[in-house]
Every structure is written in C-alpha cells, then in structure tokens.
Structure 1
Amino acid sequence: MAKPKKTPRPKAQTPKGFTDYFGGDVTERSAMLAKIAEVYHRYGFDALESSAVETVEALGKFLPDVDRPNEGVFAWQEEDGDWLALRYDMTAPLARVYAQHRNDLPSPYRRYTMGPVWRNEKPGPGRFRQFYQCDADTVGTASMAADAEICAMLADTLEAVGIARGDYVIRVNNRKVLNGVMEVAGLSGDDKAVERGVVLRAIDKLDRLGPNGVRALLGEGRKDDSGDFTKGAGLADAAADVVMGFMDAKRETGAATVVRLRELVAGSDIGAAGVAELENIATLLDAAGYGPDRIVIDPSIVRGLGYYTGPVYEAELTFDVQNEKGQTVQFGSVAGGGRYDDLVKRFTGQEVPATGISIGVDRLLTALRATGRIGTEAHGPVVITVMDRDRMADYQAMVAELRGAGIRAEVYLGNPKNFGNQLKYADKRNSPIAIIEGGDEKERGVVQIKDLILGAKIAETATHEEWVENPSQFEVPRGQMLAKVREILGV
C-alpha cells in the first residue's frame, strides 16, 4: 500500500510585487507622512480615510469580464454577483465619497488621504503591486485659485520633509492648451483619437527620447536601439511643427511662455481658455511669493491620465543620483496631479469641478534617503537584562520607570540563562543602553549601566588595556538610574 503523500509546507516568501516593511522603514514613512499632514492641515484640508475596497462600477475604469474584471485591479465577485476591487488610486474613491455624502460636506470640500493602493500589474524593479499614495484634493470649485493653492502647498510640503529649495521644481501646464494645439494641428475630433493618443504618449517621452525621438514618433515612427519599430502618428510636417513648437514653448519667464502659447493656439477657443487659466495661476502664485525658483509654467508636462480636463502639474527633484547602472541621472518626478472636472459627474450627472495632487510616498522616501536627509539608523529600546528569574517584578518596575519618563525600554523576555545572549539581543535591537542588576547589585542598591554606543566606538580602536578599563560600563545608585539614562540619551 502506497504511503500517503505529505502535504508540502507553504513557502515562506513574499508574493511577487509585494514587500515587507520593518521597523525603520515604517518609522521613517510615518514621520514623513506626519510632516506632510501638518502642511495639509495648515492649508485647511481635512483628513479622510475611505474604504480600501470599492465596487468595480464605482472605480469606473475597469469593468467585469466574463470571468473577472479587466487586468489592472485585484477584484473578486460576491455571491450576489457584484464585483468588488481593491482601490487602484485615491481619486476614484474620493469621487464616490463626495457623490455619496455631498449634502453633508462643505463646498468646496478639501480633503487629504494617505494609505496603500493596489494594482494588478506585472511587477518589476522598483515597481510594486502595493504602494503608498498621499493625496490632497479640492472638490466643488472651478476657481484657478484652487489649482494655484495645490501647487503652493506641494512646494511647502517638499520643503517641510527636507527637500531644499533649488532641489525641486513644480511644473504646471494645462490640458486645454494641449487640446488647442491638437486642434490647430488638425487632430481634433473622434476620428483622430488614435493619432492623438500616439502624440500624447510621444510628448510624455520627451525626457527619455529627446526632441528627435519625439519628432520621429510624430511622423512615420521610430526604431529603438534594439531594432524594434514603434509606429508613429503619421503627422504631416506642418502639424508636427505645431506639436514640436508646443513642447519648445517654455521661455525664461512664465509671462513669456504664456505669450508663446497664445501664439501657438491662435484660432482655438479651448486653447485660448487654457492659456488664460495658466496666466491666472501664474499671477496668483506670484502674488503669494512662489516664483520660478519653485514653480514654473512648462508646456512639456502633459500627465498620462485621460481624466484631466485643465491644469496639470508635476513635482520633479532636480538633484543627481546614481541609477542601477551606476549612471548619474536626475532623480525625477515624485508627485503629479491636475484638474478633473468630469470624474464626480459619473455619479451625480452634474459637473462637479475638482483638482488635486498625489505624492508617490515610496519615491519621495527613496529621494530623502538618497540625499541623506533620512536613513540614519534609529536607536532601539533600552534593554533591562534579567539576572534572576525570580526578580522579574523588580525589572518590570525599572522598565515602567523608564517608560513613564517617555524613554523607550523593554525587559529581556528570552531565556536569561546565557547573559551573553542578552547582550547580543541588545546589539541586534540596536539598543543604546543595557541595564544590569544582579543579586549583588540589588543588595548594594546599585545598577550597572552599559553604554552600548560608547562601547561600540571604543571597541573599534581600543587596546587590550583600554578595553579592560572599559569606561562604557559603570555603576550608579538605583535611584539615579533614570537620570543617568537621560544623560546618556540626551533627553
């Protein structure tokens, strides 16, 4: 008789496209988000935590297939036949929340939100299926002051988390201007939707392909270094000239850029409206003291999402970093957004103007680490070692005293038999101090304090004689324990 097969053990591995975040990463992210929230709150925005799960119908971009929703979201079908999905961004849930609660919310409604989103996409280096976003939006006003405020708030936010002025720039454009350019270039109308899509994607690749590469994609197409050919939009030279002129419209000042854009969209009503909105935003930002050292009008910014209807903006970090190949490159974009006046209309049937920004939390954290603004190794808790199991109450009294003074501390809860293992544990926890009280110390009313930070420094260079003296471990009266710990920690 054959032996029954053993059930294989599950593999202890993170699913593809996901990652685990440990103490330091979580602490750094929380600290950064707290600084961002402080700026948002100062601007009058209220916090919102919406459901991580939405109906596929509410998400709108993806609809059920025969067996499952289209690729892009993590979704499942309920017993009653409804499809639910994890949110893929923070904007679609906001549209649902506002439509559902609009009678109870102020108008305009300013909200910010922070949390994970999920995308069912192929993972790759630096590309995860779960990642954090931090959004701020104003819903219910068509005023360009809302867009100017979002840009100003984004500038203040970057500086609040440690990105110095001069190390970033916020670029502002308007999709209406781009639509006007398309109209002038003969690309308006439903019958030109495919060509417009090719043109938009080409413009979005300007940083990577350069003017010549984009020009090729506007025409017949482009062959890359590997020999792969990408079909172009097939524009005539005159139409391609209009599009290239649009991307090259940035001038030394915002006012000069606006003048050039007005020339390019001459004859297009929607293009003229977009230029007027850009001019309005530039005037408002200038009045508030946000000059071209922080925020600029830049026609090369188009943003990829199709729901943008007006101003669009992107925050770019301008300092150099080393990429995976060891090449020196600029860090690039960490935030983007724009105006989306049609998104809430899906629920209400009425146009509800809205504008907002989304910060890529993981990218911004990476930028701060790359420049040394965060990432210094945080200290762990003070560790109370256990010399006598029967005196655990004494050790708990010590740790309670430290915690009561606001000092992070813990009692060693492993097997206390091997004292060396307790110190190894403290090292692994990156603890700054270990406290020792054996029977002899208890009887004499003292404790031994081991300064682990100083001890590590001494160990790097000390001679044997210096190590024997070991000034990093000393004895103090039990009543002075808290004061001495505070002195070492500088608190």
Structure 2
Amino acid sequence: MAKQKKQPRPKAETPKGFRDYFGAEVTERKEMLDRIAEVYHRYGFDPLETSAVETVEALGKYLPDVDRPNAGVFAWQEEDDGKWMALRYDMTAPLARVAAQFRNDLPAPYRRFTMGPVWRNEKPGPGRFRQFYQCDADTVGAPSVAADAEICAMLADTLEAVGIPRGDYIVRVNNRKVLTGVLETMGVGDDEDTRNNVLRTIDKFDKVGEAGVRELLGKGRLDASGAYIDGVGLRDDQAEPVIAFLTSKGADAEETLANLRAAIGVSGIGAEGVEELKTIASLLEAQGYGPDRIVIDPSVVRGLGYYTGPVYEAELTFEVLDDKGRPRQFGSVAGGGRYDDLVKRFTGQAVPATGVSIGVDRLLAALREKGRIGGTQQGPVVVTVMDRDRMADYQAMVAELRNAGIRAEVYLGNPKNFGNQLKYADKRNSPVAVIEGGDEKERGVVQIKDLILGAKIAETATHEEWKERPSQFEVPRGELVAKVCEILTSQSEG
C-alpha cells in the first residue's frame, strides 16, 4: 500500500488585497462610526443593516466590467437555481433593493444610514484594498433638492464631529444636469461612446489641468511616462463648452452660476441643473453654511453612471507627504449625489433618491496623518497570580474592578515566573498591576503597581528621586478599587 502523502501546512498569510485590524485600529474605527451615527441620527436618519450578499442582478450594471456577470465583485453561482450571488459592491444598490422590496412598509421619504464593509474584486495596490468600510446616508422619495442641500450640510457637520476642523475640508457641489447640457451644446448628447469618453476626460481635470483636457478632447497627449494617449477627436469649437464648464468657478456662487449659464447655451436640461445649484446654494446659506465649508464647483464630476442631478464630494485640503516625501493634498474622503433612476430598475416607477458615502478607512488615515488619533491604546489592569491555588481570590478582585467600570483581567498564562507576568502587562500597555502573595493575603493588603509612573521613573529619575516618588503602593484589600481609581485618574490628568 502506497504511503499517503503528507499534506503541507497552510501558509499563515493574509489574502492578497485584504488586511487584519488589531485592537487600537478597531477601537478607533468604532469611535469614529459612533460619532458619525450621532450626527446622522440628529438629522433624523434611521439605521439599516442589509445582507452582505446580494444577487448580481440586484447589484446592477454599475460595475467596472459588464462583459461577465461577476466582474468586479466576489461572486458565485447557486447550484439549485443557477442564480449568481455576490458580496455587496457598495451600500447604494442594497438600499435600492430594500426601498423597492419594502416600499409599502417604509415611510416616504425614507431616510436611512448604514455602516459596514464592502468588497470589490479589483486589483489591489498601495492603500487600495478589496475589503473596506463605507458609511452611507441616503434619502429615498424626496424629489426636492432640499434633500441634497441637507446631505451636504450633514456631511460638513460629520467631518467636524470626527475631528476635521473647519478650514481643513471643503464640500464641493456640482450637477450632472449641467454637464448633460454642456454635452448637448457640444452636439454629442446622443452619441453614447463619445459622451462617455468626454466624461472620462473631464474626470482627469484635477490631474492634467485645462491644457491637458484640451489635448485629450482633441487628438491626444503624451503622459508623464512619454506614452501617447489617444484623444476623443473633437474639434476645437466642440471642446470649448467643456473648457468653459470646467473653468467656470468664480469668486462666489453667483459668479459661478453666471459662468455655467454661459457654458450650457440654450440647453433646457442644463438650465434646470443651474437652477437646482442656485437653490442648493441659497438653502445652505440660510442655514449658515458659507463657502468656507460648502462651495459650488463645476470640476466635481463623480464617476458612477447612475447620478442624475446634484453631485457632491468632500475633500480634505491639508497637505501630507507621499511615499517619496513630496507634499500633496490628502484629497477626497466622501462623495455622493442624486440617483433618481436606481430604484426604478426594480419597480418600473421613478423614485427620487440622494445620498452620500464616506470612505471610513481614508478618513481614519487622514486623522492619523494629522496626529489626531493613533496614540497607544491603554490596556486593562492586570491582576497577577502569585499562588495558582488562590485563583478564586484573584477572580474576585477582577470582578470588583469590572463592577466599578474598570477594564481588568487576571493573568491566565503560566504564573511560575512573576517577571513574565509583568512583561505581559507591559506588552498589553497595562496602566496598573495588582499583586497579592501569601504574605499580603495574611496581612489583608494588596500591592498596587503604577506601571505608567514606574516606566517614567525608570527612564529619567535618579535613585533618590525614585525613593521619593514610589510607583508601588500597599493598601488594605478593601481599598483596592478606590486606589486603582485614584491612580487611573492621576494618569489621565497627567
């Protein structure tokens, strides 16, 4: 009988494009999500949790590659009915499905927010993962652009609530109807291929500037690497409305709107978009949101095809250093807009909707760059074990500390080496260690070691100073909780 081949051990590695999150990172994200939820709740939005799995049919056509049903998503085919299922690609498609499925039960308009991971089967890169967190808020069933203005105001409030001060961000607002009007003026409104090529070119305005967009709308241009990029092939007179549109931002909203009216010519849909922007600007001004927080900016395009009206984007304006040490602006952390046709896919009836999505991981990265989060997270108080036969005594101490609201644990490793217990407490970044050996038990006392102060003294103090500033205290057993509270308070004040 042939000897069975031994199976190789699996390699302990995170799958490509994914990452693991540990203690402080998870805590920081939860705290951020709690702050965001507080703002959304204050605005009257209700929480919603949808399934992580949707049918590919429900996710729709808004994927990077539509030649295959599972392109861009992690998908599989059910054996019993042959349906394609996929992990959700974003939070908006599941909302459209919910709005259609429960339309007779939900209030109209329906205001919801949702938070959680989404998955994209795309090529990973630096800072680009296949799983990441999104935090969305949407209003379904409100045709008025007052709903869009409210989303923009809420987005500004949210950024400030999580620690981005005024002056470090700007919410930029545009309208896809204005862009549609520009395309009509150019004479390419009915040519889908040319229209899509123009939209992709406009989306590069921030990177290549006005001159680069002119070249890409015409014959083409050489990129930074020297490669030639074919252009859309428009004449100069056809390209001019696009340039007028992209450069129409004025000193204030009134000047910007006047420039946009000139760019759209006689287009009816374009004029409708300009009027909607005017209404949004007036509504925001009435609420006290000036151009230092929210501004009309025609360069905002947003890439997804389902936007039908106002679009908006939150950009962080402070500088950070890239991988090569060069300064650059941090960039966009949130975006959204109006998508009045998305629910219609399920019902056949137009349902107005607008919403925003915050990239939680990018927002956390921005706060870390600014040093506003990312400090060392304090660990639990550690009750050491001097006598394994007295585990019940140590567990009683922990219970008292926990009942007082103090994070605490008993050392559950091998208690033979006491030094290893203190090393464990140090690795856990514990603020306090509690020690009770046989002698302390007999005398009815405990030793409480201030590990934070002890570390500072060890780094800087002389022997005499160390004697004057003890970091270990002996107190009656009944005063355990009070003394630990006192030490923790002094550490937080320090």
1:177-232 residue CA offsets vs partner (Å, 9 max, x unmatched) = 0000111111110xx22222222112111221122222211111121122222111
Say whether the 8 Å CA contact 2:152–2:312 is kept in structure 1. yes
1:350-385 residue CA offsets vs partner (Å, 9 max, x unmatched) = 000000000000000001111111111110000000
Tell me what 2:82 maps to.
81
Q: Please report the RMSD computed on the Cα atoms of aligned residues, expressed in angstroms.
A: 1.7
Identity over aligned pairs, percent? 76
- Aligned-pair distance for 1:469? 6.8
Q: Secondary structure at the match of 2:393?
A: helix
Tell me what 1:136 maps to.
137
Larger mean CA deviation between 462-471 and 473-482 belongs to 462-471
Taking the aligned partners of 1:224 and 1:70, their CA distance within structure 2 comes to: 32
- Aligned-pair distance for 1:420? 0.5
Tell me what 1:336 maps to.
335
Tell me what 1:233 maps to.
232
- Aligned-pair distance for 1:67? 12
Taking the aligned partners of 1:171 and 1:66, their CA distance within structure 2 comes to: 30
Tell me what 1:255 maps to.
254
1:161 maps onto 2:162 in alignment: yes
| TM-score normalised by structure 1 residue count | 0.97
1:63-112 residue CA offsets vs partner (Å, 9 max, x unmatched) = 9x999734200000111211110000000000000100010000000000
Say whether the 8 Å CA contact 2:40–2:137 is kept in structure 1. yes
Taking the aligned partners of 1:337 and 1:182, their CA distance within structure 2 comes to: 21
Say whether the 8 Å CA contact 1:455–1:470 is kept in structure 2. no
Mind listing any 5+ residue stretches in structure 2 that lack a counterpart?
none
1:37-186 matches, within 5 Å, as 37-61=37-61, 69-79=69-79, 80-186=81-187
1:295-315 residue CA offsets vs partner (Å, 9 max, x unmatched) = 000000000000000000000
Taking the aligned partners of 2:467 and 2:252, their CA distance within structure 1 comes to: 68
Taking the aligned partners of 1:446 and 1:222, their CA distance within structure 2 comes to: 80
Q: Secondary structure at the match of 2:433?
A: strand
The aligned length equals: 488
1:388 maps onto 2:381 in alignment: no
Say whether the 8 Å CA contact 1:68–1:76 is kept in structure 2. no
Taking the aligned partners of 1:464 and 1:12, their CA distance within structure 2 comes to: 47
Taking the aligned partners of 1:149 and 1:198, their CA distance within structure 2 comes to: 32
- Aligned-pair distance for 1:422? 0.4
In structure 2, give the amino acid aligned to 1:32. Answer: M
1:215 maps onto 2:211 in alignment: no
Say whether the 8 Å CA contact 2:62–2:305 is kept in structure 1. no
Taking the aligned partners of 1:279 and 1:161, their CA distance within structure 2 comes to: 29
Taking the aligned partners of 2:253 and 2:332, their CA distance within structure 1 comes to: 21
Q: Secondary structure at the match of 1:487?
A: helix
| TM-score normalised by structure 2 residue count | 0.96
Q: Secondary structure at the match of 1:352?
A: coil
Say whether the 8 Å CA contact 2:306–2:341 is kept in structure 1. yes
1:391-421 residue CA offsets vs partner (Å, 9 max, x unmatched) = 1111111101110010000000000000001
In structure 1, give the amino acid aligned to 2:20. Answer: D
Tell me what 2:12 maps to.
12
Taking the aligned partners of 2:193 and 2:77, their CA distance within structure 1 comes to: 33
- Aligned-pair distance for 1:342? 0.2
Taking the aligned partners of 1:436 and 1:479, their CA distance within structure 2 comes to: 14
In structure 2, give the amino acid aligned to 1:24. Answer: A
Say whether the 8 Å CA contact 2:56–2:70 is kept in structure 1. no
1:418-433 matches, within 5 Å, as 418-433=417-432
Tell me what 1:400 maps to.
399
Taking the aligned partners of 1:378 and 1:17, their CA distance within structure 2 comes to: 26
Q: Secondary structure at the match of 2:307?
A: coil
Query: Which stretches of structure 1, 4 residues or longer, exceed 2 Å deviation after superposition?
Result: 1-5, 65-70, 462-470
In structure 2, give the amino acid aligned to 1:274. Answer: G
Taking the aligned partners of 1:82 and 1:67, their CA distance within structure 2 comes to: 17
